[in-house]
């Protein structure tokens, strides 16, 4: 999702605040690095960048480099003339090796290599930026924030640092902190499409859908083929129950980037709800089939995607494929055990199929994660009642009514509670040991 847009790279970045610039200088410097003349040598800047020069001279506190197209002047502290071209080749090889680790999905190992470069050259902003990105990708968010803050201190003009900080806060679920960073990023650069995307996603998480739509529209306006923005916009339309608009945006995202799993997942959600709401049985089954197809595509594109597996299970259940639904629920829970609703859904299937002990076990896991998930108490109570464990059933029904006394099913639950109290010869209220009946 985020962190999917690597920073631009290249041999030369002209830092204007450190240069005395002639009109032709930027183009000349680039040309010098691309095709260095005979006798050229590498000159290292303190920020980790390099330039190819044919000569230099020190003039007081300044270093004047001779390039193919002219001269450029640096503060002496910004240039390290002691390094060699051989060292630079080793540096490039190390960064290349680290990038391959990133591409192979091993950001933690890449971070170790980047950290070695930064330890040796603390002013190498390029390496520090790469280190911060690798740390963020490996889930070491506090360390990543520290590195981005160091970059801000070393070079306040560095772009998109606030956007990257916003990304990290977003990934940690700290949406207000993320919003603050994204807003500052937009203040610095109103065309920062990733900051607009981040704002839209944060507002969506806060159920501020109009604000989310406004920011995502800006991101799409800045980049019409921005798949991530179209995907997030499709989800916003889904939450607003504007299903036709949701499908349009999500299909656009799939067309722009077919390997992005989120739009497939969101399409599964849209078609699933449309199936539940459809009055025509043929349309209902068609929507469920589309939902299943979309969720399957999502889990194919992302190996670990517990939410998609869980919702695929729901879609399969709605289509009548109960055994396959159980399989998907178990996959989801293997990947993410703290999914309370999925435990509850599994409990409901077990209870319906007569596996009452398994139903009680899954319902117990659900309420241990979320004590307010009242549906799990109802399933638990029904399973205990089916096993004729009336005290336990009464306790489960009582918890349901405690958390949801005015629920539409509360009258039915009261009737079931009265029935198990009577069948078990249990007095009321229940004592601390769970009742005083047999």
In the sheet where 41-45 sits, what is the strand order? 50-53, 41-45, 79-80
The whole-number pLDDT of residue 123 equals 82
Residue 22 has pLDDT above 70, yes or no: no
Average pLDDT over residues 48-71: 80
397 closest CA partner among 365, 435, 362, 354:
435
Average pLDDT over residues 51-62: 78
The whole-number pLDDT of residue 192 equals 97
Residue 337 has pLDDT above 60, yes or no: yes
Query: Using CA atoms, how far apart are residues 80 and 50, in angstroms rounded to an integer?
Result: 10
Return the DSSP state at 37. P
Query: Using CA atoms, how far apart are residues 320 and 26, in angstroms rounded to an integer?
Result: 66
In the sheet where 62-67 sits, what is the strand order? 55-59, 62-67, 70-75
- Residue 120 DSSP SS3: helix
Average pLDDT over residues 323-345: 98
Residue 19 has pLDDT above 90, yes or no: no
Average pLDDT over residues 90-116: 93
Residue 85 has pLDDT above 70, yes or no: no
Average per-residue pLDDT for the chain: 87
Condensed to tens digits (0 to 9), the pLDDT of residues 185-227 reads 999 999 999 999 999 999 999 999 999 999 999 999 999 999 9
Q: Which residue has the higher pLDDT, 358 or 435?
A: 358
Contact 157, 176 (CB under 8 A): no
Q: Give me 175's structure tokens.
A: 């949406």
Q: E strands within 46-140?
A: 50-53, 55-59, 62-67, 70-75, 79-80
- Residue 438's pLDDT band (boundaries 50, 70, 90)? very low
- Residue 75 DSSP SS3: strand
Condensed to tens digits (0 to 9), the pLDDT of residues 261-272 reads 999 999 999 999
* H helices present in 172-305, as ranges: 175-188, 193-205, 209-222, 227-239, 243-256, 261-277, 281-301
The whole-number pLDDT of residue 81 equals 66
Domain locations along the chain:
16-83
Whole-prediction pTM: 0.77
Average pLDDT over residues 135-144: 96
The whole-number pLDDT of residue 110 equals 96
Query: Using CA atoms, how far apart are residues 58 and 179, in angstroms rounded to an integer?
Result: 47
Residue 9 has pLDDT above 90, yes or no: no
Average pLDDT over residues 231-245: 98
| Cross-strand pairs, 72 | 65
The whole-number pLDDT of residue 70 equals 86
Instruction: Please provide the size of the chain in residues.
Output: 438
Query: Using CA atoms, how far apart are residues 45 and 6, in angstroms rounded to an integer?
Result: 22
The whole-number pLDDT of residue 336 equals 97
Average pLDDT over residues 365-384: 97
Average pLDDT over residues 404-427: 93
The whole-number pLDDT of residue 54 equals 78
Average pLDDT over residues 26-52: 55
| 32 Cα distance to chain centroid | 41
Query: Using CA atoms, how far apart are residues 135 and 139, in angstroms rounded to an integer?
Result: 6
- Residue 82's pLDDT band (boundaries 50, 70, 90)? low
For 24, 382, 417, the CA distances from 387, given in Å and listed in that order, are: 87, 9, 15
Contact 318, 275 (CB under 8 A): yes
Query: Using CA atoms, how far apart are residues 75 and 83, in angstroms rounded to an integer?
Result: 17
Condensed to tens digits (0 to 9), the pLDDT of residues 279-330 reads 999 999 999 999 999 999 999 999 899 999 999 999 999 999 999 999 999 9
Buried b / exposed e over 241-274, threshold 16 CB at 10 Å, is ebbebbbebbebbbebbeebbbbbbbbbbbbbbb
Find all residues with CB under 8 Å of 406, minimum gap 6, and list them: none
Own/partner long-range contacts of 211-219 (Cβ < 8 Å, ≥24 apart): 212/236, 213/237, 218/193, 219/193, 219/194
Query: Using CA atoms, how far apart are residues 281 and 289, in angstroms rounded to an integer?
Result: 12
Contact 384, 390 (CB under 8 A): yes
Residue 28 has pLDDT above 80, yes or no: no
Query: Using CA atoms, how far apart are residues 436 and 438, in angstroms rounded to an integer?
Result: 7
Contact 313, 325 (CB under 8 A): yes
Question: pLDDT > 70: what percent of the chain?
Answer: 88
Q: Which residue has the higher pLDDT, 436 or 243?
A: 243
Residue 47 has pLDDT above 50, yes or no: yes
Q: How buried is 35 (Cβ within 10 angstroms: 0-12 exposed, 13-18 middle, 19+ buried)?
A: exposed
């Amino acid at each position: 999702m985020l962190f999917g847009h690597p920073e631009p790279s290249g041999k030369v970045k002209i830092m204007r605040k450190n240069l005395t610039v002639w009109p032709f200088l930027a183009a000349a410097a680039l040309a010098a690095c691309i095709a260095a003349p005979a006798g050229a040598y590498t000159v290292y800047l303190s920020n980790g960048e390099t330039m190819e020069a044919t000569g230099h001279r020190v003039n007081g506190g300044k270093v004047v480099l001779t390039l193919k197209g002219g001269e450029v002047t640096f503060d002496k502290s910004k240039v390290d003339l002691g390094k060699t071209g051989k060292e630079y080749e080793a540096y490039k090889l190390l960064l290349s090796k680290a990038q391959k680790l990133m591409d192979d999905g091993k950001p933690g190992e890449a971070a170790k290599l980047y950290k070695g470069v930064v330890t040796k050259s603390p002013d190498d902003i390029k390496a520090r930026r790469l280190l911060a990105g690798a740390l963020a990708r490996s889930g070491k968010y506090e360390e990543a924030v520290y590195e981005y803050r160091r970059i801000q201190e070393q070079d306040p003009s560095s772009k998109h640092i606030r956007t990257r900080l916003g990304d990290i806060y977003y990934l940690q679920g700290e949406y207000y902190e993320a919003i603050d960073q994204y807003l500052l990023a937009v203040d610095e650069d109103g065309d920062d499409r990733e900051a607009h995307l981040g704002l839209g996603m944060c507002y969506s998480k806060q159920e501020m859908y109009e604000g989310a739509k406004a920011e995502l529209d800006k991101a799409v306006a800045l980049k019409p083929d921005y798949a991530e923005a179209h995907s997030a916009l499709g989800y916003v339309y889904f939450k607003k129950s504007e299903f036709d608009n949701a499908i349009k945006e999500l299909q656009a995202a799939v067309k722009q980037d077919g390997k992005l799993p989120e739009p497939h997942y969101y399409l599964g959600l849209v078609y699933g709800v449309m199936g539940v709401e459809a009055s025509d049985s043929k349309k209902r089954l068609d929507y469920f089939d589309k939902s299943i197809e979309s969720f399957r595509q999502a889990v194919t594109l992302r190996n670990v995607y517990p939410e998609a597996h869980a919702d695929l299970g729901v879609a399969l259940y709605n289509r009548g494929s109960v055994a396959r639904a159980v399989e998907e629920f178990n996959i989801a829970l293997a990947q993410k055990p703290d999914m309370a609703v999925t435990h509850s859904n599994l409990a409901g299937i077990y209870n319906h199929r007569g596996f009452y002990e398994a139903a009680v076990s899954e319902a117990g896991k659900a309420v241990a994660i979320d004590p307010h998930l009242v549906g799990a108490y109802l399933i638990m109570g029904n399973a205990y009642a089916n096993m004729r464990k009336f005290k336990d059933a009464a306790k489960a029904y009582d918890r349901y009514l405690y958390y949801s006394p005015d629920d539409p099913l509360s009258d039915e639950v009261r009737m079931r509670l009265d029935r198990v109290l009577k069948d078990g010869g249990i007095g009321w209220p229940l004592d601390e040991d769970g009742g005083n009946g047999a």
